[in-house]
């Protein structure tokens, strides 16, 4: 089970690295857009000195991993190394198709979307592409900042001064691309562990709990509760389920007690050993 899960995460990181490289090679560099963090420095080095992006990526991210080693766990560092190596490999692959487009907003949106999805895949699998994401993880761990938001802050430190290399318009488009990427990263990570919590108040508590347990094999918890006005003791049924399970639970409750009060909330939950992935 452990090996299977580890292989799955490494595969997701590799996929994320490939998508990130596609965003850089096919959307950002062809339209001379910048980026944030180390990736931004790789594009600047390419525009000014014609240094291949994969070389800058390996060198600078290697240095940042040394910093991250003191603050992040061993597994994150190993998976980050995996991501950096594969990102450099994909960046080195020649571009098969070049295009000419006058509307630079299109590669901006495409680049932001692809990098956001890529970062979501990599971070959700427990890795990073070093750079500002290492700093983002450190700020997330010690200050509770969302990883996407913390990464955006450090990305802007590089992106805004790039105005002297790529021009004012492209700098603004780069900031837009970074915002889209950070927002999608936050949304992607927020979906990890997302489930529904349900509170049910009914006169048919025992029957509903029994049906949920025996027919849907749903774990339920009964919470002692007393109505303040009626002074009537009436347990609350509490359970956690997925959206798919919710579609089966609601009709079952309605069939037993159409007057039952049902409160549904969106939550994020994992086992204690995975708690750091929620932060």
**Whether 83 contacts 126, CB under 8 Å:** no
**Whether 122 contacts 148, CB under 8 Å:** no
- pLDDT single digits (tens) 35-52: 777 778 888 888 888 888
Report the alpha-carbon distance of residue 38 to residue 87 in Å, rounded. 12
φ/ψ (deg, to 5) at 197: -110, 140
Residue 128's pLDDT is what?
A: 73
Structure tokens at 107: 């590669």
CA dihedral over 94, 97, 98, 104, signed as positive or negative = negative
Whether 175 shows a pLDDT value over 70: the answer reads yes
Structure tokens at 98: 């070049």
Residue 229's pLDDT is what?
A: 85
Residue 221: which residues within 8 A CB-CB, separation 6 or more? 237, 238, 239
Average pLDDT of the chain, as a whole number: 83
**Whether 111 contacts 99, CB under 8 Å:** no
Report the alpha-carbon distance of residue 181 to residue 160 in Å, rounded. 16
Report the alpha-carbon distance of residue 172 to residue 159 in Å, rounded. 9
Does this model's pTM top 0.85? My answer is no
Report the alpha-carbon distance of residue 104 to residue 156 in Å, rounded. 20
**Whether 276 contacts 189, CB under 8 Å:** no
Residue 269 confidence class, pLDDT cut points 50, 70, 90: low
- Residues 130/136/138/140 CA torsion (nearest 10 deg): -140
All structural domains of the chain: 2-190 (no CATH), 194-277 (3.30.70.120)
Residue 273's pLDDT is what?
A: 54
Report the alpha-carbon distance of residue 130 to residue 92 in Å, rounded. 18
Whether 223 shows a pLDDT value over 70: the answer reads yes
Report the alpha-carbon distance of residue 138 to residue 164 in Å, rounded. 30
Residue 240: which residues within 8 A CB-CB, separation 6 or more? 195, 196, 197, 198, 219, 267, 269
Q: Counting every residue, how long is the chain?
A: 279
Residue 204: which residues within 8 A CB-CB, separation 6 or more? 256, 257, 260
Structure tokens at 261: 């009060």
């Amino acid at each position: 089970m452990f090996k299977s899960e580890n292989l799955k995460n490494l595969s997701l990181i590799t996929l994320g690295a490939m998508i990130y490289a596609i965003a850089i090679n096919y959307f950002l560099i062809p339209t001379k857009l910048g980026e944030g963090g180390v990736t931004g420095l790789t594009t600047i080095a390419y525009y000014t000195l014609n240094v291949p992006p994969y070389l800058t990526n390996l060198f600078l991210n290697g240095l940042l991993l040394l910093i991250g080693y003191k603050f992040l766990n061993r597994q994150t560092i190993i998976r980050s190394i995996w991501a950096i190596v594969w990102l450099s490999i994909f960046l080195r692959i020649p571009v098969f198709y070049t295009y000419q487009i006058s509307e630079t907003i299109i590669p901006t949106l495409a680049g932001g979307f692809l990098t956001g999805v890529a970062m979501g895949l990599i971070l959700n699998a427990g890795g990073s592409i070093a750079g500002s994401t290492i700093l983002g993880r450190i700020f997330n761990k010690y200050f509770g900042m969302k990883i996407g938001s913390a990464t955006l802050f450090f990305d802007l430190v590089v992106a805004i001064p790039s105005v002297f290399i790529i021009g004012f318009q492209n700098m603004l488009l780069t900031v837009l691309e970074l915002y889209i990427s950070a927002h999608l990263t936050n949304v992607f990570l927020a979906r990890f562990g997302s489930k529904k919590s349900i509170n049910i108040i009914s006169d048919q508590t025992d029957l509903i709990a029994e049906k949920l347990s025996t027919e849907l094999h749903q774990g339920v918890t009964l919470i002692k509760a007393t109505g303040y006005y009626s002074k009537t003791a009436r347990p609350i049924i509490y359970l956690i389920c997925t959206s798919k399970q919710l579609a089966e639970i609601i009709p079952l409750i309605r069939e037993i007690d159409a007057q039952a009060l049902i409160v549904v909330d969106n939550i994020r939950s994992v086992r204690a050993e995975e708690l750091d992935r929620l932060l």
